[in-house]
């Protein structure tokens, strides 16, 4: 990962649900893909992988949420022996294929995204157990309240001391209106509009 040469061949070790979807993602973008699955159930820390490598400074881990061929987020984790150049190369590579890479600065089990989701889920469980909300209303709160804002700017922008929500709403009003319209549209209408778009493309190419 430390070389500046363009990356056109990808090796995938582990071809479960996530690995297979990564393979499909790379193949769809014209990469050469070599995949192997030596042992089912083996998820390894980057430091453990580096311990058996001839060039540990070139090793990084890239975690994605499932399904990886659709989810843009990629979490880059460096081990104790990973070089800064390899980290920069990984961030640049994943950005170049349309992903949204971030750097996890301290090695930890699991995904940072998973831990943030777990914190929200624990609070939902607490509110439901206390009788404050039922689970359906909790989902409505997340999807139709802060979730819409998080999509546009992230959660930290709404923390105390950062931008006030009123300012955010003014700055992002057009995007927020578009999101609300999209979320309010029945799924059947999405399919109908998709068929209409495909029909228009077919007429243009015929």
Determine whether 75 is an active site residue.
yes
| Angstrom distance (rounded) from CA 125 to CA 200 | 47
In the block, tokens 């640049």 appear at 92
Per-residue pLDDT, 203: 63
Summarised one tens digit per residue, pLDDT across range 93-105 is 999 999 999 999 8
Per-residue pLDDT, 187: 53
Coil, helix or strand at residue 159: coil
Domain boundaries, given as residue ranges, for the chain: 9-110, 113-184
Residues in the chain predicted with pLDDT less than 50, given as ranges, are: none
Per-residue pLDDT, 19: 87
Determine which one of 75, 123, 171, 174 is catalytic. Answer: 75
Per-residue pLDDT, 9: 92
Per-residue pLDDT, 51: 85
Per-residue pLDDT, 34: 93
User: What CATH number does the domain located at 9-110 have?
Assistant: 3.40.50.720
Tokens of 85: 């150049």
């Amino acid at each position: 990962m430390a070389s500046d040469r363009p990356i056109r061949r990808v090796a995938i070790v582990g071809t479960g649900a996530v690995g297979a979807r990564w393979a499909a993602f790379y193949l769809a973008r014209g990469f050469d893909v070599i995949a192997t699955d030596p042992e089912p159930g083996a998820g390894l820390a980057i430091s453990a992988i580096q311990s058996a490598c001839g060039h540990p400074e070139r090793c990084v881990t890239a975690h994605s949420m499932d399904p990886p061929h659709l989810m843009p987020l990629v979490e880059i984790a460096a081990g104790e022996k990973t070089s800064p150049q390899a980290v920069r190369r990984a961030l640049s590579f994943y950005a170049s294929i349309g992903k949204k890479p971030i750097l996890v600065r301290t090695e930890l089990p699991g995904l940072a995204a998973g831990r943030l989701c777990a914190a929200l889920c624990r609070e939902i469980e607490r509110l439901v157990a206390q009788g404050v909300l039922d689970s359906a209303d909790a989902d409505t709160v997340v999807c139709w309240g802060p979730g819409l804002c998080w999509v546009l700017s992230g959660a930290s922008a709404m923390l105390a001391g950062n931008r006030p929500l009123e300012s955010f709403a003014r700055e992002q009003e057009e995007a927020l209106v578009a999101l609300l319209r999209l979320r309010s549209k029945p799924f059947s209408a999405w399919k109908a509009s998709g068929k209409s778009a495909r029909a228009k493309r077919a007429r243009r190419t015929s």
